[in-house]
Amino acid sequence: MTDSSDDTGKTTFKRVMLKISGEALMGDTAFGLHPPTVERIAREVKSVHDMGVEICMVIGGGNIFRGLQGSAQGMERTTADYMGMLATVMNALAMQSALEGLGVFTRVISAIRMDEVAEPYIRRRAVRHLEKKRVCIFAAGTGNPYFTTDTAATLRANEMNCEAIFKGTKVDGVYDKDPVKHADATRYDTVSYDDVLQKRLGVMDASAIALARDNDLPIIVFSLDEPGGFKGILAGEGTYTKVHG
């Protein structure tokens, strides 16, 4: 693995959480994983890792199975949510494979025990992995039904003492309405946790926003589709929205 000490110091962040949706791994396909897209995102992660930043990741499972949709179609909610958790493990393994193909040491850490494919979640062990500059991908959500991967990302970010959550989306920040449907949508440079909740801006679910607010953990929303965007924002460049107190 390359030592990129030349890049260290270009960012004030030491440890961050990257939260992306499962749909981000689909590329232009309608379902599942698109390997070139997974590799592209892995390269974005590597570019930040090469800056000396310790990286946690949480990936949703909506490209494979979404618990709420299963529940809406008549499936028992708890069972549907557990199926969604298993989908996140599949995505985490795909990202691990892509990252390690680029020479980035990675650990998949699951909230549901499945020792043959992932480590169980033990906080102190996960912190040690980060200190050894391994990317930690937290899978299976919180291990509990009725909680989203947004909440899982916020929970793990707090437990790992991350300095911010970076929420990678298809747009370059938080807007007052859907910019895809409304040409006059206005982007916020900064927005408070309370405004996100009151205006239902859809950054993350309410539990995740409340948990971030209560622990003063900033959320930075940016476009994952912009090449070099993740690294650029960590270096103080680019377009994004910061959600904070």
Q: For the chain, what is the mean pLDDT? A: 92
Instruction: Write down the domain spans for the chain.
Output: 15-244
**Cα distance between residue 45 and residue 67, in whole Å:** 27
For 9-30, how does the pLDDT look when each residue is reduced to its tens digit (9 = 90+)?
Answer: 477 899 999 999 999 999 889 8
SS (H, E, C) 58-106: EECCCCCCCHHHHHHCCCCHHHHHHHHHHHHHHHHHHHHHHHHHCCCCE
Q: In sequence order, what are the beta bridge partners of 187?
A: 175
Residue 2 confidence (pLDDT) = 36
**Cα distance between residue 29 and residue 49, in whole Å:** 28
Phi, psi angles (nearest 5°) of residue 31: -165, 150
Structure tokens, 54: 């310790």
For 144-166, how does the pLDDT look when each residue is reduced to its tens digit (9 = 90+)?
Answer: 999 999 999 999 999 999 999 99
CATH fold of 15-244 = Carbamate kinase (3.40.1160)
Number of Cβ within a 10 Å radius of residue 82: 18
CA angle, 62 as apex, 75 and 127 as ends, to 5°?
Answer: 110
Q: Look at the block and give the residue holding tokens 């958790």.
A: 85
Structure tokens, 222: 């940016």
Structure tokens, 142: 């919180």
Phi, psi angles (nearest 5°) of residue 55: -120, 125
For 105-119, how does the pLDDT look when each residue is reduced to its tens digit (9 = 90+)?
Answer: 999 999 999 999 999
Q: Taking Cα atoms as reference points, which of 205, 139, 198 lies closest to residue 167?
A: 205
The lowest-confidence range among 63-72, 123-132, 182-191 is 63-72
Confidence of residue 6 (pLDDT cuts 50, 70, 90): very low
For 58-82, how does the pLDDT look when each residue is reduced to its tens digit (9 = 90+)?
Answer: 999 999 987 777 777 888 999 999 9
- Residues with Cβ within 8 Å of 13's Cβ and at least 6 positions away in sequence, in order, are 53, 163, 164, 234
DSSP 8-state class, residue 26: S
Average of pLDDT values for 130-156? 97
Whole-angstrom Cα Rg for the chain: 17
